[in-house]
């Protein structure tokens, strides 16, 4: 549009102006046609430009979520010998149980295979590739570490080879595993004998053979908590260990470097106090001799401002050569240091508030040479990844991270994720100062499918709220040029997927991968825009009820079988479509009443409705954010067993209010027969009960089916040319009955069996109810339906 305006207001060249002023027909028409063609060409959608290659810029190359619909968390990730990545962590099922999870990808983050722990409630904390191209995972019990340490071997295709559980004391956690020169494994972690242990947590080192059978173990303990976090084997067969100790050193929490000989006997021990609360996270031998340690250091026990990532270089004799500290926001959220290009190091972590390097929460990747001098620092916004638990520095350029990523805007669920970040290579890395002169950059938005990682074309991308273009069918990308430096919002929409908005920091030419989840709202019958129709959304319940025993029963009828729910919904929809069979033919419904309703169902595999949490039940979390257009939500549960026998039993059906609109829903069993007409009569049409009971009466307006006076009822009957003598006071068991002690100061006209009365399971809607139903159909969108 800006281009169009520019052309319209551009000065007209003299030569053309002469032609125009003379109004020569031939030239005038040609000029106008030229303009028309030019304008038309400008109006054509801009085709996607070629995408930059991933190595052409620094930025997030890709982010991927794994684990299907399960919530999850990645804890450790490594580069494989094949150039792909493998990560471990956990996923959590709808039953709340945590299972170990491993996923292997190719170099582009496309899943090759994944492994779900079977019955083990463990999470993977460390993973290595073995000499036979398999993988070994060290993990801990997800249940307060109460089920011991897990060592698991997978083959190169993700098949389980063996697993061993080591129960030492009451609690145990394995934090790191490495393969030893004899083909066995060395594991480091922590154990605690019981809750009353006077020495708290103790460091623990376990040596196994190549089948995971224990050969020896060692404890590292003092009078307080001591934790082992990482271990490596040196060429002479000895070991180096790092972690944290409160039992030794300065008296606070110190980072330590422990040396063991090949038999596991202590050969040396050094502590680094840091700022008083220091933890060693990784340790590795340098190829040119000596050791490098990385960790964190904070001024107080509670991580907060002032924390630092620490890199320590020692000689082969464990003498400190240099220490390097880099400000760090969240020491618990991941820091990594690995040997990098030219014998240097890569350190990565989060930026804190008021950090001059960039916005808080962004990832920094700092390159350091082998003398401790900073080579470059690059800053990256993390797209959908909201928490990092594992980072691996890659030998050439960049880091791979794992953690959890948030789903669509309103969602609280986080999923197992991996991200690959490119940094500029080696000593030629772009330092922030080199880019400050440039104000605009290229931003490539890559849109992927959540589960498969497949490219999504024709997704509409909005930059800062304005439509920017459609992604390419070829690779799901949309290149955007001249994007100003700073933070931008990228909103992506596409039919069939949940809309999503992500913040993207643009500090250089970069790319941002946005993953789309399937929409939680599935259209079944849609006759028009939501504003013009009554939108009915069916929601599955994970509970039903036994009226004989007054018990709510968890059921998996729907949660385990989406098709079963779809079948029941289709049956319920047929009730809506045959509404004219139960309404008064004297009044009649609009001929196109079926076309005035849209039907959908809602499916969130992690959140189901509970039909028996309160009278009308409760809808899934975030339902209104995900399906805000809903006029009437219908919570469907499979069946009501037995009969209602009075309080404290729960009713078969219940409506949250009278008349469609915001916050209106009702519950119904799939086998409730015509009771759905009664409940829908409340919720969709605002009809009031006409049976006598301890329920809610009001004269609904306009076109009531219940009146607060006999005279008002008679007046309405006369106006409708109905028999005015049929107005009865609501009393007894049924309207029109003169017996019984129940009497209400309300009157109704519709004869029994009335669906809103005692004919709820077998009756029809009378003239009054049908008149109101027709009024509602004619009132949608101000009567424009």
- The answer to whether the peptide bond before residue 271 is cis (omega within 30 degrees of 0) is no
Minimum CB–partner distance for residue 644 and other proteins (Å): 4
Query: Shortest approach of other proteins to residue 691 CB, angstroms?
Result: 6
Residue 560: CB minimum distance to other proteins, A? 27
122-129 and 111-116 as β-strands: parallel, antiparallel, unpaired?
A: unpaired
CB of 381 to other proteins, least distance (A): 14
- Of 431, 243, 427, nearest in space to 340 by CA: 427
- β-pairing verdict for 543-546 and 640-641: parallel
**Closest distance of CB 474 from other proteins, Å:** 18
Contacts of residue 40, defined as CB under 8 A and 6 or more positions apart, other chains included, come to none
Q: Which is nearer to other proteins, 349 or 469 (CB)?
A: 469
161: left (phi over 0), alpha (psi -120 to 50) or beta: alpha
Nearest CB to other proteins, comparing residues 268 and 661: 661
Number of other residues whose CB lies within 10 A of the CB of residue 556: 12
The Cα 388–Cα 69 span in angstroms is 20
Considering beta carbons, is residue 410 or 570 the nearer one to other proteins?
Answer: 410
Nearer of residues 269 and 644 to other proteins, judged by Cβ: 644
- Closest to other proteins by CB, 248 vs 775, is 775
Nearer to other proteins, 447 or 655 (CB): 655
Smallest separation (angstroms) from other proteins to the CB of 431: 30
The H or E element that residue 90 is part of is strand 85-92
Instruction: Confirm if 746 and 712 have CB atoms less than 8 A apart.
Output: no
Which residue's CB is nearer to other proteins, number 164 or number 501? 501
By beta-carbon proximity to other proteins, the closer residue of 326 and 447 is 447
Per DSSP, the three-state class of 20 is helix
Going by C-alpha positions, the residue among 406, 403, 411 that lies closest to residue 604 is 411
CB of 493 to other proteins, least distance (A): 6
Q: Which is nearer to other proteins, 212 or 469 (CB)?
A: 469
Cβ closest to other proteins, residue 162 vs residue 696:
696
- The smaller minimum CB distance to other proteins, of residues 393 and 463, is found at 463
Q: How far is the CB of 12 from other proteins (least distance, A)?
A: 15
Q: Do residues 271 and 277 make contact, with C-beta atoms less than 8 angstroms apart? A: no
Q: Which is nearer to other proteins, 12 or 698 (CB)?
A: 698
Three-class DSSP category at 170: coil
Give kind and range of the element (H or E) at residue 410: none
Question: Three-class SS string for 40-79?
Answer: HHHHCCCCCCCCCCHHHCCEEEEEEEECCCCEEEEEEEEE
Work out how close the CB of 451 gets to other proteins at its nearest, in angstroms, rounded to a whole number. Answer: 22
Phi and psi, residue 707, nearest 5°: -115, 150
Cis before 12 (ω within 30) = no
Q: How far is the CB of 388 from other proteins (least distance, A)?
A: 24
The DSSP call for residue 742 is: -
CB of 171 to other proteins, least distance (A): 39
Sheet holding 226-233, edge to edge: 226-233, 239-245, 254-260, 266-272
DSSP string, 312-378: EEE-TTS-EEEEEEEE-S-GGG--EEEE-GGG-EEEEEE--TT-TTSSTT-EEEEEE-TTS-EEEEE
Is residue 240 within 8 A of residue 232, CB to CB? The reply is: yes
- The least CB distance from residue 82 to other proteins, in Å, is 40
Shortest Å distance, C-beta 582 to other proteins: 15
Least Å distance, CB 85 to other proteins, is 32
CB of 203 or CB of 617, closer to other proteins = 617
* Residues in Cβ contact with 380 at an 8 Å cutoff, skipping those fewer than 6 apart: 58, 59, 60, 362, 363, 364, 365, 421, 505, 510
User: At closest approach, how far in Å is the CB of 619 from other proteins?
Assistant: 9
Q: Which is nearer to other proteins, 362 or 689 (CB)?
A: 689
Exposure b/e, 645-678, CB count within 10 A at least 16 = b: eeeebbebbbbbbbbbeeebbbbbbbebebbbbb
461 contacts 448 by C-beta, under 8 angstroms: no
3-state secondary structure of 163: strand
CB closer to other proteins, 218 vs 502: 502
Structure tokens at 269: 């021990």
């Amino acid at each position: 549009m800006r281009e169009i305006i520019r052309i319209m207001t551009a000065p007209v060249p003299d030569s053309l102006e002469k032609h125009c002023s003379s109004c020569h027909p031939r030239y005038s028409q040609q000029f106008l046609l030229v303009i028309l063609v030019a304008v038309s060409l400008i109006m054509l959608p801009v085709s996607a430009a070629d995408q930059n290659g991933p190595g052409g810029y620094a930025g997030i190359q890709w982010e991927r979520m794994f684990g299907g619909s399960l919530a999850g968390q990645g804890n450790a990730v490594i580069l494989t010998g094949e150039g792909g990545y493998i990560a471990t962590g956990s996923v959590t099922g709808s039953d709340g149980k945590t299972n170990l999870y491993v996923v292997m990808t190719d170099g582009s983050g496309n899943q090759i295979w994944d492994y779900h722990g079977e019955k083990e409630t463990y999470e993977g904390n460390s993973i290595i590739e073995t000499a036979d191209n398999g993988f070994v995972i060290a993990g801990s019990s997800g249940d307060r570490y109460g089920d011991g340490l897990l060592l698991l071997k997978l083959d190169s295709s993700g098949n389980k080879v063996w697993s061993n559980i080591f129960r030492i004391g009451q609690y145990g956690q394995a934090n790191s595993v490495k393969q030893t020169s004899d083909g066995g494994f060395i594991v480091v972690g922590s154990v605690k004998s019981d809750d009353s242990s006077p020495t708290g947590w103790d460091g623990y080192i376990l040596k196994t053979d190549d089948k995971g059978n224990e050969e020896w173990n060692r404890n590292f303990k003092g009078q307080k908590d001591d934790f082992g976090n990482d271990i490596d084997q040196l060429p002479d067969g000895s070991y180096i260990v790092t972690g944290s100790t409160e039992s030794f050193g300065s008296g606070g929490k110190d980072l330590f470097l422990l040396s063991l000989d090949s038999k596991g006997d202590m050969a040396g021990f050094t502590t680094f106090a840091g700022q008083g609360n220091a933890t060693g996270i990784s340790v590795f031998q340098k190829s040119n001799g000596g050791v490098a340690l990385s960790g964190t250091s904070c001024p107080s026990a509670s991580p907060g401002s002032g924390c630092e990532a620490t890199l320590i270089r020692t000689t082969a004799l464990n003498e400190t050569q240099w220490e390097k500290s880099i400000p760090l926001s969240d020491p618990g959220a991941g820091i990594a240091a690995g040997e990098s290009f030219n014998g240097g190091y890569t350190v990565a972590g989060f930026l804190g508030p008021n950090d001059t390097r960039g916005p808080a929460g962004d990832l920094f990747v700092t390159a350091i040479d082998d003398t401790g001098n900073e080579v470059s620092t690059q800053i990256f916004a993390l797209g959908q990844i909201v928490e990092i638990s594992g980072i691996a520095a890659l030998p050439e350029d960049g880091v791979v991270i794992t953690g959890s990523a948030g789903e669509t805007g309103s969602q609280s669920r986080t999923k197992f994720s991996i991200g690959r970040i490119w940094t500029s290579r080696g000593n030629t890395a772009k330092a922030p100062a080199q880019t400050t002169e440039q104000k605009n950059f290229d931003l490539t938005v890559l849109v992927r499918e959540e589960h498969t990682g497949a490219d999504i074309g024709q997704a509409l991308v909005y930059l800062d709220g304005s439509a920017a273009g459609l992604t390419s069918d070829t690779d799901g990308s949309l290149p955007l040029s001249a994007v100003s430096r700073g933070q931008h919002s990228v909103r992506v929409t596409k039919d069939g997927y949940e809309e999503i908005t992500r913040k993207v920091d643009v500090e250089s030419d970069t790319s941002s991968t946005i993953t789309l989840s399937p929409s939680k709202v599935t259209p079944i019958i849609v006759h028009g825009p939501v504003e013009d129709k009554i939108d009915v959304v069916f929601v599955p319940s994970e509970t039903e009820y036994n009226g004989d025993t007054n018990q709510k029963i968890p059921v998996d009828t729907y949660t385990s079988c989406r098709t079963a729910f779809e079948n029941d919904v289709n049956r319920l929809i047929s009730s809506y479509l045959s509404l004219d069979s139960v309404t008064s033919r004297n009044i009649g419904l609009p001929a196109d009443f079926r076309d005035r309703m849209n039907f959908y169902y809602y499916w969130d595999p992690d959140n189901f409705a509970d039909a028996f949490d309160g009278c009308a039940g409760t809808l899934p979390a975030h339902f209104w954010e995900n399906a805000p257009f809903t006029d009437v939500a219908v919570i469907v549960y499979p069946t009501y067993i037995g009969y209602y026998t009075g309080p404290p039993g729960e009713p078969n059906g219940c409506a949250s209010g009278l008349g469609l609109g915001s916050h209106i829903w009702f519950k119904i069993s799939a086998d409730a027969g015509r009771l759905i007409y009664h409940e829908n009569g409340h919720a969709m049409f605002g009809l009031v009960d006409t049976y006598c009971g301890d329920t809610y009466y009001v004269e609904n307006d306009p076109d009531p089916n219940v009146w607060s006076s006999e005279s008002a009822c008679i007046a309405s009957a006369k106006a409708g040319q109905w028999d005015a003598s049929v107005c009865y006071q609501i009393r007894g068991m049924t309207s029109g009955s003169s017996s019984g002690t129940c009497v209400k100061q309300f009157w109704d006209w519709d004869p029994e069996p009335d669906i809103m009365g005692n004919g709820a399971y077998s009756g029809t809607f009378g003239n009054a109810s049908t008149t109101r139903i027709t009024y509602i159909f004619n009132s949608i969108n101000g009567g424009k339906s």
